[in-house]
Structure 1
Amino acid sequence: MMKRHLYRASVLAALALALTGCDKKSDAISEAKKADNAAVIDAPSIEQVKAIAEEGFVYGLPIVMNYAVMYEYSVDKESGQYKAPFNQIHNEARVFTYEDTAVVTPNSDTPYSILWLDLRAEPIVLSVPPVEKDRYFSVMLCDGNTFNYGYMGSRSTGNEPGDYLVVGPNWKGETPAGIKKVFHSSTEFSAVAYRTQLFNPQDMPNVVKVQSGYGVQPLSAFLKQPAPPAVPQIDFPKIDKEMVKTGFFDYLDFALRFAPAGPEEKEIRAKLASIGIGPGKTFDFKDLSKEHKAAVLLGMKDATDKVEKAVEGIGKTINGWGVYTAFGDRAFFNGDWLLRAAAAKIGIYGNDAEEAMYPKCRQDADGEALDTSKHSYTLTFAKDQFPPVNAFWSVTMYDGKSQLLIKNPINRYLINSPMIPNMKKNDDGSLTIYIQKDSPGPDKEANWLPAPDGPPYLILRMYRPKTEAPSILPAGDGSWQPPGIVKAI
Structure 2
Amino acid sequence: MSKVLKSLSVTLFAATMGAGAQAQSTDLRIAARDSYIFTYPLVMMYRTMYLQAIEEGSPSYAGGMGEWLHLGVASPEDNDIVTPNNDTPYSYAWVDLRAEPWVLTMPEIGADRFYTSQWDDLWGYVLDNAGSVNDGNDGVSVMLVVPGWEGDLPEGIDRVIQGETSFLGTLTRTQVLGSDQPSDLDRIQQRYVLEPLSAFLGQPAPQQAETIDWLGWEEGAEFELGYWTHAARLLPLVERLDVDTEAYSALAMLGIESGQPFDIEGLDDTQKATLQAGIDDARALLAAQAGQLTDGTKLFGPRSAVGQRYLDRALGVYVGIFGNTKDVSVYLNRVVDDQGHPLDGSKASYEMTFAKGELPPVDFFWSMTMYRLPERLLVANAIDRFSIGSATPGVVTADDGSLTLYISAEPPKPEARSNWLPAPDGPFWMVLRNYGPGESILDRTYDLPPVRIIE
Residues 1:433 and 2:392 aligned together: no
The one-letter amino acid paired with 1:423 is V
What is aligned with 1:407?
380
C-alpha displacement of 1:427: 2.5
Q: Deviations over 1:297-345 (max 9, x none)?
A: 122222222222322344xxxxxx5565321111111111011111222
SS in 2 for 1:378: strand
What is aligned with 2:55?
76
C-alpha displacement of 1:283: 6.4
Q: Paired residue for 1:381, among 347, 354, 368?
A: 354
| Structure 2 unmatched ranges of 5 or more | 1-8
The one-letter amino acid paired with 1:481 is D
Separation in 2, partners of 1:209, 1:17: 56
Residues 1:171 and 2:113 aligned together: no
What is aligned with 2:115?
137
State the TM-score, normalized to the length of structure 2. Answer: 0.91
Q: Paired residue for 1:205, among 158, 167, 183?
A: 183
- Contact 2:366-2:434 at 8 Å conserved across structures: yes
- Contact 1:273-1:281 at 8 Å conserved across structures: no
Separation in 2, partners of 1:376, 1:117: 46
Q: Paired residue for 1:461, among 433, 436, 451?
A: 433
The one-letter amino acid paired with 1:89 is W
SS in 1 for 2:31: helix
What is aligned with 1:472?
441
The one-letter amino acid paired with 2:438 is K
What is aligned with 2:312?
339
Identity of aligned residues (%): 34
- Contact 2:363-2:438 at 8 Å conserved across structures: yes
Q: Paired residue for 1:106, among 84, 95, 114?
A: 84
Separation in 2, partners of 1:324, 1:180: 27
C-alpha displacement of 1:361: 1.6
What is aligned with 2:344?
371
Q: CA RMSD in A?
A: 2.5
- Contact 1:399-1:405 at 8 Å conserved across structures: yes
The one-letter amino acid paired with 2:431 is I
C-alpha displacement of 1:147: 0.3
The one-letter amino acid paired with 1:183 is I
User: What are the residue-to-residue correspondences of 1:12-23 with 2, within 5 Å?
Assistant: 19-20=12-13
Residues 1:484 and 2:450 aligned together: yes
Task: Please say which of residues 321-330 and 244-253 is displaced more in the overlay.
Answer: 321-330
- Indicate how the Cα distance of structure 1 residues 133 and 456 shifts in structure 2: closer, same or farther if over 3 A, else same: same
Q: Deviations over 1:337-364 (max 9, x none)?
A: 0111112222111111111111112111
- Contact 1:274-1:282 at 8 Å conserved across structures: no
C-alpha displacement of 1:479: 2.6
Q: Paired residue for 2:200, among 222, 229, 236?
A: 222
Task: Please say which of residues 150-159 and 452-461 is displaced more in the overlay.
Answer: 150-159
User: What are the residue-to-residue correspondences of 1:126-165 with 2, within 5 Å?
Assistant: 126-165=104-143
Separation in 1, partners of 2:306, 2:295: 19
Q: Paired residue for 1:290, among 222, 244, 269?
A: 269
Residues 1:447 and 2:419 aligned together: yes
Q: Paired residue for 1:185, among 124, 146, 163?
A: 163
C-alpha displacement of 1:422: 1.2
- Indicate how the Cα distance of structure 1 residues 324 and 124 shifts in structure 2: closer, same or farther if over 3 A, else same: closer
Separation in 1, partners of 2:418, 2:331: 24
Separation in 2, partners of 1:293, 1:306: 20
The one-letter amino acid paired with 1:414 is S
SS in 2 for 1:59: helix
Q: Deviations over 1:4-46 (max 9, x none)?
A: xxxxxxxxxxxx99933799xxx99xxxxxxxxxxxxx9x942
- Contact 2:235-2:259 at 8 Å conserved across structures: no
- Indicate how the Cα distance of structure 1 residues 286 and 425 shifts in structure 2: closer, same or farther if over 3 A, else same: same
C-alpha displacement of 1:79: 2.6
- Indicate how the Cα distance of structure 1 residues 203 and 464 shifts in structure 2: closer, same or farther if over 3 A, else same: farther
C-alpha displacement of 1:423: 1.7
What is aligned with 1:424?
396
Separation in 2, partners of 1:282, 1:441: 62
What is aligned with 1:38?
none
Separation in 2, partners of 1:483, 1:202: 31
SS in 2 for 1:422: coil
Q: Deviations over 1:124-156 (max 9, x none)?
A: 010011112221111101110000011111111
Residues 1:60 and 2:39 aligned together: yes
- Contact 2:114-2:175 at 8 Å conserved across structures: yes
- Contact 2:232-2:260 at 8 Å conserved across structures: no
- Indicate how the Cα distance of structure 1 residues 202 and 282 shifts in structure 2: closer, same or farther if over 3 A, else same: closer
- Contact 1:393-1:461 at 8 Å conserved across structures: yes
The one-letter amino acid paired with 2:164 is S
- Indicate how the Cα distance of structure 1 residues 272 and 412 shifts in structure 2: closer, same or farther if over 3 A, else same: same
C-alpha displacement of 1:437: 0.9
Separation in 1, partners of 2:12, 2:397: 62
SS in 1 for 2:312: helix
What is aligned with 1:49?
28
What is aligned with 1:353?
326
What is aligned with 1:32?
none
What is aligned with 2:70?
91
SS in 1 for 2:305: helix
Separation in 1, partners of 2:190, 2:261: 49
C-alpha displacement of 1:237: 2.0
Separation in 2, partners of 1:327, 1:81: 24
- Contact 2:130-2:140 at 8 Å conserved across structures: no
- Contact 1:95-1:109 at 8 Å conserved across structures: yes
Separation in 1, partners of 2:65, 2:368: 33
- Contact 1:276-1:282 at 8 Å conserved across structures: no
Separation in 2, partners of 1:192, 1:114: 6
Number of equivalent positions: 443
C-alpha displacement of 1:280: 5.4
Structure of greater Rg: 1
Separation in 2, partners of 1:162, 1:18: 48
Separation in 2, partners of 1:334, 1:327: 10
Q: Deviations over 1:450-476 (max 9, x none)?
A: 111100111000011012xxx1122xx
